[in-house]
Amino acid sequence: MPVDNSGPIASPDAISRERGYLMRYARLQLRDPALAEDAVQETLLAAVEGATRFSGKSTLRTWLTGILKHKLMDQLRRSGREQPLAGPGDDRAETEIVDALFRGDGHWREFPRNWGNPATDLENSRFWSAFELCLQRLPTRTARAFAMREVMEMPTEEICQELGITATNCWVILHRARLTLRECLDLQWFGNTKR
């Protein structure tokens, strides 16, 4: 990206133009529009206040997303202290989906269908709407663990500490999250009929 020497690289106008992207990103992680709005506002404020620290070594969006990830982690930590991770029967539907995918011997009942070229779908805003819908259907603990690992790229040890779970439990939760999201996207986005 060429550097514009006519003014600051991270101008307030340039920062505010990324608000829509940051909101979509935050809503996918937090599943609560009000909390997502708070995280994005904190991100934009931090970016405007720290605009002189933006060196241009990455794109403005990448820099802002990095700030947002920290704000989201703070938000997840706060909400984790304020509410329980799971209620009774919270993951019953998730267990049923996973059980329906595999036979008793652990093999697929039906091998997953081909999704074609998913990379092109990642650029489609309707795909992200379907993904958000699928993510919202996950139990709270599962969605939180998935967001921490796959979006915020937190190490397993830190996820376990934040959620108060063992490493084995964490990997089981992440495995179930991936299977459940795959099944949901197979139905909601790729148009495959229910098995």
What's the topology of domain 12-82?
Answer: Rna Polymerase Sigma Factor; Chain: A (1.10.1740)
Residue ranges of the domains in the chain?
12-82, 92-188
Under the banding of pLDDT at 50, 70 and 90, the label for residue 171 is very high
Q: What is the pLDDT of residue 1?
A: 44
Q: What is the pLDDT of residues 113-131, one digit of tens each?
A: 666 777 777 677 777 788 8
Sign of CA dihedral 75, 76, 82, 83: positive
> Does residue 81 have a pLDDT over 60?
no
Query: Mean of the pLDDT values across residues 167-190?
Result: 86
Q: Helix, strand or coil for residue 10?
A: coil
Higher pLDDT pick, 91 / 167: 167
CATH architecture for residues 92-188: Orthogonal Bundle (1.10)
DSSP reduced 3-state for 54: coil
Cα distances (angstroms) measured from residue 189 to each of 32, 72, 86, 143, 148 = 22, 27, 28, 19, 24
Does residue 164 have a pLDDT over 70? yes
Whole-angstrom CA distances from 103 to 64, 97, 107, 142 are 45, 12, 6, 23
- The mean of the pLDDT values for the chain is 77
In order of 7, 98, 104, the CA distances from 50 in angstroms are 15, 45, 56
pLDDT in tens, 55-68: 778 888 888 888 98
- Asked whether the predicted pLDDT for residue 83 surpasses 50, the reply is no
Q: What is the DSSP letter of 192?
A: P
Whether residue 47 contacts residue 111, with contact meaning beta carbons closer than 8 Å, is answered with: no
- Fold identical between 12-82 and 92-188? no
Give the separation between CA 130 and CA 118, rounded to whole angstroms: 13
